[in-house]
């Protein structure tokens, strides 16, 4: 048996003591348990998502949240939610009874994006189908494409069994259209500047007479959600700008403009002036800012600031040099954090959680009104 020197004995005793102490500490702490991050399931939408029921018991956000928490695919849930608004003739910003174009024809746009599957579908300037969001969903599931437009979108819908109607106007939307035509210059051939001014003035007069909801001049419902697994999806559907030039397509069916979803980050959608979102690809910008670590609110504010700085044409500015139009964003990340942000104060958004559905006031970039 070999002899152990005094130095070796002391060193080995010290190591044993450290090991014993460490083992005691770990025993006191207990086993290490790795837990998943907590996700708060939530549905967020534009304010009309908690205002219409189409004769039923649930609003858009309530329907979507119920389906999602009962196990439905989240995109199916949010699309089923906006179907309520598309089919409700009282909501003249989308679908059946949506405010028509300058020729009295209802042309609809919609898009949807599936975060986990990283797929998308959209239709634009489609006529005769009350639920364009469902046609967009078919594009996502049944084709290798993202966007189908016009008569071909209608033909695509017919081939998949959608009912095609000759006219999607309701007595409400037709009355407002005829009033608009009556008030605008009957020749309808003013020079471009005067025609734009006349059309805008007429719309404002209709709003002031409470014949037309200010929110519905630009139309649209956006609805996004995240489930308990952190899966996120979104949908946007609209009848577009009231009295628009036939064939005009706004931001709603354009990925990255009126809607953008990244399954690893979150979702953003919008209502308001579509041209501003098209120019700035606002929804994509918001999601990218969240990817960089921003909160939904801060990311939305960045997009509003970008729109403000890029709006320089005099016709689009008010007396203070700010945009004379509104834009609102509805944002959620994969943790379930959400925000509604708007260019101007007093705008609202809808949200549904385990606590139920609520309509909340958006955070705003600017005070006052677009017309100040």
Q: Which residues are catalytic?
A: 220
Tokens of 54: 């189409």
Burial of 247 (C-beta count, 10 Å sphere; 0-12/13-18/19+): exposed
Residue 310 C-alpha from the chain's centroid? 22
- CB-based burial of residue 3 (10 Å sphere; 0-12 exposed, 13-18 middle, 19+ buried)? exposed
SS3 261: strand
Tell me how far the alpha carbon of residue 153 is from its chain's centroid.
22
What span, in angstroms and rounded, lies between the C-alpha atoms of 254 and 154?
Answer: 18
Q: Which two tokens stand for residue 91?
A: 């909501």
Side-chain-facing half-sphere of 353: CA atoms under 13 Å: 11
- Which residues are CB-neighbours of 359 under 8 A, at least 6 positions away? 47, 50, 51, 348, 349, 350
Going by C-beta distance under 8 Å and a sequence separation of 6 or more, which residues neighbour residue 197?
none
Burial 199-233 (b: 16+ CB within 10 A, else e): beebbeebeeeeebbebbbbbbbbbbbbbeebbbb
The answer to whether 126 and 154 are in contact (CB under 8 A) is yes
Q: How far apart are CA 43 and CA 353, in angstroms?
A: 7
């Amino acid at each position: 048996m070999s002899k152990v020197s005094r130095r070796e004995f002391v060193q080995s005793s010290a190591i044993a003591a450290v090991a014993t102490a460490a083992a005691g500490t770990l025993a006191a702490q207990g086993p290490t348990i790795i837990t998943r991050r907590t996700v708060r399931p939530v549905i967020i939408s534009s304010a009309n998502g908690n205002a219409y029921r189409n004769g039923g018991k649930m609003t858009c956000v309530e329907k979507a949240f119920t389906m999602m928490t009962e196990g439905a695919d989240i995109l199916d849930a949010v699309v089923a939610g906006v179907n309520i608004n598309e089919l409700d003739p009282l909501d003249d910003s989308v679908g059946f009874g949506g405010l028509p174009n300058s020729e009295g024809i209802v042309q609809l746009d919609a898009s949807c994006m599936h975060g986990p599957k990283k797929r998308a579908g959209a239709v634009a300037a489609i006529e005769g189908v009350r639920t364009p969001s469902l046609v967009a969903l078919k594009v996502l599931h049944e084709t290798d494409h993202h966007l189908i437009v016009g008569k071909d979108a209608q033909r695509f819908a017919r081939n998949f069994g959608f009912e095609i109607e000759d006219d999607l106007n309701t007595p409400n939307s037709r009355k407002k259209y005829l009033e608009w035509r009556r008030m605008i210059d009957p020749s309808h051939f003013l020079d471009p500047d005067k025609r734009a001014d006349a059309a805008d003035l007429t719309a404002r007069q209709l709003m002031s007479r409470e014949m037309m909801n200010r929110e519905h001049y630009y139309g649209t419902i956006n609805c996004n959600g995240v489930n308990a697994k952190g899966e996120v999806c979104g949908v946007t559907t609209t009848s577009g700008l009231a009295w628009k030039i036939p064939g005009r397509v706004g931001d709603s069916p354009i990925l990255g403009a009126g809607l953008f979803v990244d399954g690893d980050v979150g979702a953003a959608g919008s209502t308001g002036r579509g041209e501003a979102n098209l120019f700035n690809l606002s929804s994509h910008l918001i999601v990218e800012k969240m990817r960089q670590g921003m909160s939904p609110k801060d990311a939305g504010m960045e997009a509003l600031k970008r729109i403000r700085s890029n709006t320089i044409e005099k016709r689009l500015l008010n007396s203070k040099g700010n945009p004379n139009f509104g834009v609102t964003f509805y944002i959620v990340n994969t943790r379930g954090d959400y925000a509604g942000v708007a260019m101007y104060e007093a705008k609202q958004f809808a949200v549904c959680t385990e606590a139920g559905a609520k309509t909340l006031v958006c955070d705003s970039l600017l005070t006052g009104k677009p017309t100040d």
